[in-house]
Amino acid sequence: MQRTPEPELMDEQDQAEAYAAADWSEAHGKIPGYFLQRFPGFDRGRVIDLGCGPADVTIRFVRAFPKVTAVGVDGSDAMLSFGRRAVHDAGLDSQITLERRYLPDPSIEANSFDAAICNSLLHHLADPLVLWRTAAKAVKPDAPVLIIDLVRPPDHETAARLVKEHAKDAPPVLERDFVASLHAAYTVDEVRQQLLAAGLQQFKVDHVDELHFVAWGRTPI
């Protein structure tokens, strides 16, 4: 099916509240493992989480890599307000900083981070190259980058089935956003073309389950 874009920012209060309250343990809990499997030598440094939302992934990553400090960036004040509360409640104020940033943002493109992670931001962007170029410019040469996002289903019927299976007990706002996100997602082939266009042809794309891909690699030296 054709891609249908959705708004770049999830800045409605009810969206942020529902997203922050949801149980993401199954999907988000896999992300530190995805990183460790692909970059087994990494265990410390400064990490940037692009599109951190309410910081659930940021928190899970820092807990998995306790020698890491992280900066989470997001364009939504509503999401960040829940994220700051979650970071404080997790006792991680000394390791995680959250900042409001809207990509592209030259201030984070200084090749200063030791790694970059990102979950479910790509499908929000009208220009996907913004994410790939930001991730590559934010980190040092030869630094690891891991991007996870949804895969667009082949048709509306498959999208409806996925929502029914994976969001059957979700609040209406989350179900609505899930449908929109599946329609806004990119296919694996489209992601591979984006990486070529961004000069990141060394990156790999793994279709890890029915819903998600993992794109990963090290930035050019």
pLDDT tens per residue across span 65-81:
999 999 999 999 999 99
Q: Which of 165, 206, 169 is nearest to 182 (CA)?
A: 165
34-64 CB burial, b ≥16 within 10 A, e <16? bbeebbeebeebebbbbbbbbbbbbbbbbee
Q: What local confidence, expressed as pLDDT, does residue 11 receive?
A: 63
Q: What is the pLDDT of residue 10?
A: 64
User: What are the tens digits of pLDDT across the range 14-52?
Assistant: 787 777 777 788 889 999 999 999 999 999 999 999 999
Amino acid at 159: A
pLDDT(104) > 70: yes
Distance CA 98, CA 114 (A): 17
Average pLDDT across the chain, whole number: 94
Please report, as a single letter, which amino acid is at residue 177.
D
Residue 94 has pLDDT above 90, yes or no: yes
Count Cβ atoms below 10 Å from residue 6 Cβ, excluding itself.
Answer: 17
Domain positions in the chain: 25-150+186-216
Nearest to 120 by CA among 84, 87, 149, 86: 149
Among residues of the chain, what percentage have pLDDT more than 70?
Answer: 98
Q: Mean pLDDT across the stretch 3-10?
A: 78
CATH number of 25-150+186-216: 3.40.50.150
Rank 6-10, 89-93, 169-173 by mean pLDDT and report only the highest. Answer: 89-93
| 140: confidence class by pLDDT, cuts 50, 70, 90 | very high
- Alpha carbon distance 60, 43 (integer Å): 14
Pairing between β-strand 96-100 and β-strand 67-74 as defined by DSSP bridges: parallel
pLDDT at 74: 96
At residue 8, the pLDDT reads 65
User: Residue 148 is inside which H or E element, if any?
Assistant: strand 144-150
